[in-house]
């Protein structure tokens, strides 16, 4: 038995480079192309810190919108610009 060349932990057959799980992954990569890397990087590679940052970035937009609305309420006397 050989060690799988991809995961380097499981064993592959004598004449095979990859273990069955990695061979199945390779098949998915062939099916999905670059989308696989996007999904893995965006979902699997995000640490807890980065997940929190991502949440803050999403909330930041809402906070900015609320602050803008509050500011525009405070300056009601001044004429508004039309969009
Ligand atoms: Zn493997």
Burial label for 33, CB within 10 Å (0-12, 13-18, 19+), is exposed
Q: What pLDDT is attached to residue 25?
A: 93
Three-state SS at 33: coil
- Pair of tokens at residue 82: 């039309």
The answer to whether 31 and 45 have CB atoms below 8 angstroms apart is no
Task: Measure 83 CA to ligand 1 centroid, in angstroms.
Answer: 57
pTM over 0.85: no
Q: How far is the CA of 23 from the centre of ligand 1 (A)?
A: 7
Among 4-18, 38-52, 61-75, which stretch is predicted with the lowest mean pLDDT? 38-52
Q: How far is the CA of 80 from the centre of ligand 1 (A)?
A: 63
């Amino acid at each position: 038995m050989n060690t799988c060349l991809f995961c380097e932990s499981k064993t592959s057959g004598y004449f095979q480079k990859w273990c069955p799980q990695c061979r199945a992954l390779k098949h998915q990569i062939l099916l999905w192309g670059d989308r696989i890397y996007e999904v893995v990087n965006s979902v699997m590679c995000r640490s807890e810190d980065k997940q929190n940052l991502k949440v803050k970035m999403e909330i930041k937009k809402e906070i900015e919108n609320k602050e803008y609305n509050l500011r525009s309420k405070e300056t009601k006397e001044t004429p508004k610009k039309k969009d």
